[in-house]
Structure 1
Amino acid sequence: MNNLFRLLPSMDRVLAVLEGDKALAAAPRPLVREAAQAFLDGLREEIKSGLVTGEAELAFDALSPRIACFARAYARPRLRRVLNATGVVVHTNLGRSVLPESAVAAVVDACRHYSNLEFDLATGQRGSRHSHIEAVLCALTGAEAAMAVNNNAAAVLLTLETLCKGREVVVSRGQLVEIGGSFRVPEVMAKSGAILKEVGATNRTHLRDYEAAIGPDTAALMRVHTSNFRMIGFTKEVPLDELVALGRERGLPVIEDLGSGTLFDFAQAGLPGEPTVREVVAAGADVVTFSGDKVLGGPQAGIIVGKREYVDAIRKNQLARALRLDKMTLAALEAVLRLYLDPEAARREIPTLAMICAAPEELSRKARSLASAVRKAVGGMYDVRVRPGSSRVGGGAFPERDLPTSLVCLYPKDSSLTVDELRARLLDTDPPLVGRVEDDAFCLDPRTLAKDEFPLAARALSQAALKNHA
């Protein structure tokens, strides 16, 4: 073993290999040196564990390709592009919504130049960053006032802290849900300083439950969208219009947390049941909060719309500064919102809407095209078939609704490579390809793959296959 350790290349020799690698030309030198050290440390561990037992394995000619591959992977950015072939449109783990081109251009422009972020061009004085999106949000939702913070959890927290701190908020017990990332309504409410007063039973809440709960310490009535949780059967929730009427009668604001709120009527895509933000505002909700990066199809943001007296109070809260949007997010959000002024343009140009609304026949054509590219790349190793399947909206929206699609399914011909192993190897390709395993096949859903990503997906499958062949 000591002889093997003595055969390890020097740091200078390893660095000499890496400095001549064009793929690492843009990588910072300290990062390249760190990669070289990590490679050598890994070799030492291989010797200690008995994985390396012969001198030939440590010959420099044998190590050089390994050094370069290791360093390229080590030096890659940690936040990377991923090919989403899962069919989940709003995939939280994969970054949720893909921005339209106009929003990407707006972000680049905001980054590249100075802007009027907090500068009023009409007066030459200090302005408000909220002004850039308030008018378009009010036009789209019918609300009196609007603002945005960094996500919907922040929007809920800020609203409750402003309007309800130290007082009671009445919520149906069936709406006290936990969504992704351990976001729990009761805990967020506790952080805001508001006091939760839950009413009703788990499955049924009546208007009389709210009426009985209202007292001198009540600050608001609140409804919470249950995201991807549903109860069926013997259930009841109080409709918004009835809760608003009660709020008016008792002088209490009604807060509606829509979660993944939408500005688009998805009934035309066969997805009824989710009210639009405009409908909720029209029904009389005083404050409405919703996400910008779910079915809205924009950047991560929490949007607050409603009556001016409440939104103005929320905007003045000192927490609003801690939760505010940066210039890049504001630029992207404004660009996306402007597209909604023309619903057809929104459906066509916002990728999230386009993917959700894609017609089955369009997806069938895409699947055949994708299957052809895959067969050319790896047809000798996989049986590639196209079959009907289903996609999901994701992001907690429309949890009970599947979207019909066509899947490209790969069945490995080599019995030594299972579909689970194939899935794992595809996470190590460049870029990684994420699909799903169904019925003993690795499946690609063309709904969430752009056509210009088909060659990348085929190449990723080829990389995984070559690795197995080697």
Structure 2
Amino acid sequence: MRLRDLPSISAVLTCPAASPLLDRHGRAAATDAVRALLAEARAALLAGGDAVWGIGGPDADGVAALALARLEATSRSALRPLFNLTGTVLHTNLGRALLAEEAKAAALAAMGDPVALEFDLDSGTRGERDDHVRALLCELTGAEDATVVNNNAAAVLLALNTLARGRDAIVSRGELIEIGGAFRMPDIMAQAGARLVEVGTTNRTHAKDYKGTLTPETGVILKVHTSNYRIQGFTKEVLAPELAAIAHGAGVPLLNDLGSGTLVDLSPYGLKREPTVREAVEEGADLVTFSGDKLLGGPQAGFIVGRRDLVAAVNRNPMKRALRVDKVRLAAIEATLKLYRDPDRLARRLPTLALLSRPKAEIADQARRLAPALAQALGAGYAVTVCDCDSQIGSGALPLDTLPSAGLAIAAGGAALNRLAASFRALSRPIIGRIEDGRLVLDLRCLRDEDAFTATLAELHQP
């Protein structure tokens, strides 16, 4: 091939194959992509080599096709849907809870039209955005009042800043948790302006430890649910009702951070029982904080519920505006909370509970159906078997509890497994599993669309 055989940019952009290139990416991006390809080809020819065209050829149509392929690859969103076959249902790195259909519909409606976000339709005057969920939260938790911010770390930050800025915040050493991304409770407290006062030891904290630390400088007693770890053995903690009595006797509020938080008893769904928000309120906490996108099964959010006067103080805090949620998320939150009014159908309508309560036998049947399709897609060199495995709830909830599950195990050499995992991640809808015991395991607990999975497998190129 010679330099004069290269088509001009104009010739490429006016050829029939350029039509989808221009339609999808616009003239400016298309021109830049074609120019870059021709420059690469020209440099290769001048160096004495030959242009490498990949899927295209040296003519205008071929260059247009290659330019389209490159732009499609570079413009593809990294936030595209994927198959979470890791075995962790509420996977923080994969977006945590899946929204219910009702929540998705509500969010979509809020995206496309003006909504009465802070407008009172009855009076025609300015309203409060929290009003859309306040009554629901109070109904479901038994609290006097409620507010919402963008995540639970923000809820704790805002509550501490309101109650204990420049004052002492007492907390057990055994509850100074670290959550994902090396984000630690002491750091949150410092940013809130509260002075951390540790009591007790890592494994044992007594009522006398709290009582002996109370001073006129105490702004709050903080109780933190150790949702992402457990201390076992020779242990002692002061339970919430007794801690509430200690706090109230000293005239200071008790802030109970439930972390993940749940609005219902999980034991009927085959899960270990976790303290509910309603129970925390009934046990005397003045404020309770919890998440929206973990066990609750909604979008990312942080809730603060409790005494009316304290919630009002939280809402007066200037930080509240910086931490508030937008109309789209608020619409999804409202729709999710409404599902809890119908507990008989909750597990069918809320994806988080549906996935967590899915029977192992059902998952094993799915694995047996899909094993032949996976083996065929992989070809020789890989052994595919149906396997038992253990799923995790994830996002710090019930860290010691696993859910019996089933999946597909792929056996091959170590290097081959790593290449295969990379190939799965490169698919149009990535497949994310986990490598353990010399196998790539695809836990099928969270696989809801078998047809989409098998269609994606057809794209697989052997590494």
Task: Give the TM-score of the pair, scaled to structure 1.
Answer: 0.89
Q: Does 1:240 align with 2:231?
A: no
C-alpha distance in 2 between matches for 1:18 and 1:149 = 52
Shift in alpha-carbon separation, 1:455–1:193, aligned structure 2, 3 A: same
Q: Which residue of 2 aligns with 1:194?
A: 194
Contact 1:381 1:465 in 2 (8 A): no
- The Cα of 1:398 is off from its aligned counterpart by 0.8
The one-letter code sitting in structure 1 at the alignment partner of 2:94 is L
Q: What does 1:325-344 correspond to in 2, within 5 Å?
A: 325-344=325-344
On the 8 A contact 2:34/2:63 being kept in 1, the answer is no
Equivalent residue for 1:442? 440
Structure 2 SS opposite 1:226 = coil
1:101-120 equivalence runs, <5 A: 101-120=101-120
Q: Deviations over 1:322-354 (max 9, x none)?
A: 111100000000000000111122211110110
The secondary structure found in structure 1 opposite 2:216 is: coil
Match in the other structure for 1:249: 249
**Would the aligned equivalents of 1:288 and 1:305 in 2 still touch at CA under 8 Å?**
yes
Mapped to 2, the partners of 1:293 and 1:14 lie a distance apart of 49
Q: 1:455 is matched with which residue?
A: 451
CA offset digits 1:341-391 (Å, max 9, x no partner): 111222111101100011122222222233244345445564321111111
SS of the equivalent of 1:421 reads helix
Q: Which residue of 1 aligns with 2:86?
A: 86
Change (3 A) 1:303 1:167: same
Distance 2:332 2:317 in 1: 24
Letter aligned with residue 52 of structure 2 = E
Say if 1:426 and 1:434, in contact at 8 Å, map to a contact too. yes
Secondary structure of residue in 1 paired with 2:460: helix
Q: Deviations over 1:123-173 (max 9, x none)?
A: 111111100101111111111101100111111111111111110000111
Q: Identify which range, 267-276 or 178-187, moves more after superposition.
A: 267-276
Instruction: Report matched runs for 1:70-219 at 5 Å.
Output: 70-219=70-219
Q: Name the SS of the counterpart of 2:97 in structure 1.
A: coil
Larger mean CA deviation between 66-75 and 371-380 belongs to: 371-380
Classify the secondary structure of the residue corresponding to 1:418: helix
- Note closer, same or farther for the CA distance 1:130–1:419 as it changes in structure 2 (3 Å cut): same
Worse overlay, 357-366 or 7-16: 7-16
Q: Structure 2: how far apart are the matches of 1:422 and 1:24?
A: 34
Aligned equivalent of 2:18: 20
Contact 1:419-1:442 within 8 A present in 2 as well: yes
What does 1:295-444 correspond to in 2, within 5 Å?
A: 295-375=295-375, 377-378=377-378, 382-412=382-412, 418-444=416-442
One-letter amino acid of the structure 2 residue matched with residue 77 of structure 1: S
Higher mean C-alpha deviation, range 371-380 or range 385-394: 371-380
Q: Distance in 1 between matches of 2:264 and 2:33?
A: 48
The range that moved more, 267-276 or 295-304, is 267-276
Structure 1 contact 378–462 (Cα < 8 Å) conserved: no
Please point out which of 42, 52, 55 is paired with 2:50: 55
Residue 34 of structure 1: how far off its partner (Å)? 5.1
Stretches of structure 2 that go unaligned for 5 or more consecutive residues are none
Q: Does the CA contact (< 8 Å) of 1:27 and 1:75 recur in 2? A: no
Contact kept? 1:254, 1:286, Cα under 8 Å: yes
- Residue deviations 1:197-232 (CA, integer Å, cap 9, x gap): 111112211111111111010011001122322222
Q: Which moved more, 1:342-351 or 1:290-299?
A: 342-351
Aligned AA (1:456):
A
Distance 1:10 1:437, change over 3 A: farther
CA contact (8 A) 1:118 1:128 kept: yes
Distance 1:247 1:56, change over 3 A: closer
Residue type matched to 1:463 in 2?
E
Query: Per-residue CA shift, 1:24-49, capped at 9, x if unaligned?
Result: 7333444445555666787799x69x
2:461 counterpart residue number: 465
Runs (5+) with no aligned partner, structure 1: none
CA distance in 2, matches of 1:389, 1:154: 35
Percent of aligned pairs with the same amino acid: 46
Matched to 2:367, the amino acid is A
Q: Give the C-alpha shift of residue 425 in structure 1.
A: 1.2
Summarize the Cα distance change of 1:359–1:197 in structure 2 as closer, same or farther, 3 Å threshold: same
Q: Which deviations, in whole Å up to 9, do the C-alpha atoms of 1:261-294 show, x marking residues without a partner?
A: 1112111233224211111111111101111011
Shift of residue 445, structure 1, vs aligned partner = 1.6
Decide which moves more: 219-228 or 97-106: 219-228
| 8 Å CA contact 1:299, 1:333 repeated in 2 | yes
Residue 282 of structure 2 corresponds to 282
